[in-house]
């Protein structure tokens, strides 16, 4: 009779909570319909969100492409407006500017006398000192003066 004891316990548990194990066909059909409806609703919600995100991504990519084209167009317009010929035309026609005359260059005169150098040369000539290597090198590279 040891075998009958677990079966007896199971029957007693079933009798205490009979509603758990005794689901009628109508209740099972209703629970199945609710479960399938909730699963379908969850799936449709997720699919709708994915589709909306895809549309948002497409719109953002299209806007990005449009802004890149606009940026290229503005860069071309900027280069065209900064062209030297256009700036010169704009300055002379609209702003009433005139081209600058060519510059007058000041021609250099003879450099002023090197008093210290002349004094040193005079002292060297008075002492009859031969020129050192530095003086000979400076004389070799000294520019030839022309009579103006």
The answer on pLDDT for 75 being more than 80 is yes
Give the global pTM. 0.41
The answer to whether the CB of 78 falls within 8 A of the CB of 86 is no
- Say if CB 131 and CB 139 are below 8 A apart: yes
CA angle 84, 87, 93 (to 5 degrees): 135
**pLDDT tens per residue across span 5-55:** 878 887 777 777 655 556 678 888 998 999 999 999 999 999 999 999 999
Q: Where are the domains of the chain?
A: 23-67
């Amino acid at each position: 009779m040891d075998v009958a004891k677990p079966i007896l316990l199971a029957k007693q548990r079933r009798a205490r909570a009979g509603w758990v194990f005794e689901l009628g066909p109508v209740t099972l059909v209703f629970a199945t319909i609710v479960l399938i409806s909730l699963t379908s609703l969850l799936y449709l919600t997720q699919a709708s969100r994915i589709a909306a995100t895809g549309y948002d991504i497409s719109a953002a990519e299209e806007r990005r492409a449009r802004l890149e084209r606009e940026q290229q167009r503005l860069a071309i317009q900027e280069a065209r407006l900064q062209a030297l010929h256009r700036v010169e035309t704009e300055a002379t026609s609209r702003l009433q500017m005139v081209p600058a005359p060519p510059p007058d260059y000041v021609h250099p005169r003879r450099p002023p006398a090197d008093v210290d150098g002349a004094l040193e040369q005079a002292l060297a000539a008075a002492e009859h000192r031969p020129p050192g290597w530095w003086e000979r090198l400076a004389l070799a590279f000294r520019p030839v003066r022309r009579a103006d």
